[in-house]
Amino acid sequence: MSLLATVTLPDLAIFILGAALCVTGALGIILTKNPVHAALSLVMTLFGIAVLFIELQADFLAAVQIIVYAGAIVVLFLFVIMFLGVDKEEDLSIEPIVAQRPLAAILVTALMASIVALGFIGHFEVGPPSQTAALTGGGGNVADLGKAVFTTYLFAFEATAGLLVIAVIGAVVLARRSGDDEGSDAMLMEELS
Amino acid sequence: MSIPLSWFIILATVLFGIGAFGVLIRRNVLIMFMCVELMLNAANLALVGFSRELKDVGGEATVFFVLVVAAAEVVVGLGIVVAIFRRRRSAVADELSEMGG
């Protein structure tokens, strides 16, 4: 599998669209001053990822990506941003730690270069196709995924139910107003109003 | 012919790199959190790419579980952010330095 394989025009167009959405959104998250704009950039990235999932014939995951991420997680982010009232602009010209940004850039570039170099050393070859858990492909893989989740991964699937219950209880306990906190909550409400 | 795996891996690497850079340079806890989500999504993209290349459903099932864990993580993480904000009136990581030396 070489880097410059011949690809059909529709595939190329969808890939470029998805990649452009992802990268623009990702840069938007780290470069915008306002957290609300960052959350909206995150939606753009997640949508781009969903487009790429469709290109990879993972239709179910593309739908779940939109519903769970764009529909639930980003809305939760926006709720918290609004609730805390931190939607103020942040001054990005201040660099709090000396040489933080150049060092971060060097580290991240080294990370990305090593991953890409490893890929090229291995010529992006993967092993032989799966025999035991094959994908039938072509839009019919929702059934494959469902079968895998309810047979091979049944225990993990049941464990996620427990995980979600624990997460919900944990969030309620963390964000609850406890009795001795009443004063500070009243202060918070005054500040927010 | 469909898009080769290498393109998806390189794109996932770029997205992961942008996310890691964001976690390292931004000070707002919420934005750092969004960058973590970005890194999770980059890994998901690579997993689905490998899943297609190997014609194996395991990668897609893993992405499904990553989505569930990400949802749980965001709920608990934002709960922690709200709890910290209640006490400290701040969502800036540099100001939460009580345990620093």
Q: Give the global pTM.
A: 0.86
Per the domain annotation, does A151 fall within a domain?
yes
CA gap B85, A128 in Å, rounded: 51
Rounded to two decimals, the ipTM of the complex is: 0.90
Give the closest-approach CA distance of A28 to chain B in angstroms.
10
pLDDT per residue as tens digits for the range B76-92: 999 888 888 887 777 77
Per the domain annotation, does B55 fall within a domain?
yes
A184 chain-B contacts, CB cut-off 8 A: 86-87
Instruction: Choose one of A59, A90, A121: the last residue of a domain.
Output: A90
Token couple for A176: 């609850």
CATH of the domain at B30: 1.10.287.3510
CA gap A170, A167 in Å, rounded: 5
Answer yes or no: are the C-beta atoms of A57 and A139 closer than 8 Å: yes
Residue ranges making up the domain that contains B61: 5-92
Per the domain annotation, does B100 fall within a domain?
no
Count structural domains, chain B. Answer: 1
A185 chain-B contacts, CB cut-off 8 A: 86
Per the domain annotation, does B79 fall within a domain?
yes
Per the domain annotation, does A128 fall within a domain?
no
CA gap B70, B39 in Å, rounded: 11
Per the domain annotation, does A8 fall within a domain?
yes
Give the closest-approach CA distance of A122 to chain B in angstroms.
11
A109:B17 CB<8 A? yes
Per the domain annotation, does A136 fall within a domain?
no
pLDDT value at position A89? 72
CA gap A53, A69 in Å, rounded: 14
pLDDT per residue as tens digits for the range A78-99: 998 888 877 677 777 777 777 8
pLDDT per residue as tens digits for the range B27-75: 888 899 999 999 999 999 999 999 888 888 888 999 999 999 999 999 9
Per the domain annotation, does A69 fall within a domain?
yes
pLDDT value at position A174? 84
pLDDT tens series, chain A, 193 aa: 455 567 788 889 999 999 999 999 999 999 988 889 999 999 999 999 999 999 988 889 999 999 998 888 999 999 988 888 776 777 777 777 778 888 899 999 999 999 999 988 887 777 777 776 666 655 557 888 888 899 999 999 999 999 999 999 998 888 777 655 555 555 555 666 5
pLDDT value at position B16? 95
Among B41, B45, B57, select the one facing A135 at the smallest CB separation.
B57
Instruction: Choose one of A29, A57, A90: the last residue of a domain.
Output: A90
Per the domain annotation, does B86 fall within a domain?
yes
Per the domain annotation, does A118 fall within a domain?
no
Count structural domains, chain A. Answer: 2
pLDDT value at position A162? 93
Whether residue A146 sits in one domain with residue A86: no
What's at B19, amino acid-wise?
Answer: G
Residue B38 CB coordination number (10 Å): 27
pLDDT value at position A186? 58
- The residues near B56 (Cβ < 8 Å, ≥ 6 apart) are A129, A130, A133, A134, A135, B50
Residue ranges making up the domain that contains A44: 1-90
A124 chain-B contacts, CB cut-off 8 A: 4-6, 9
A7 chain-B contacts, CB cut-off 8 A: 1-4
Answer yes or no: are the C-beta atoms of A77 and B34 closer than 8 Å: yes
Per the domain annotation, does B97 fall within a domain?
no
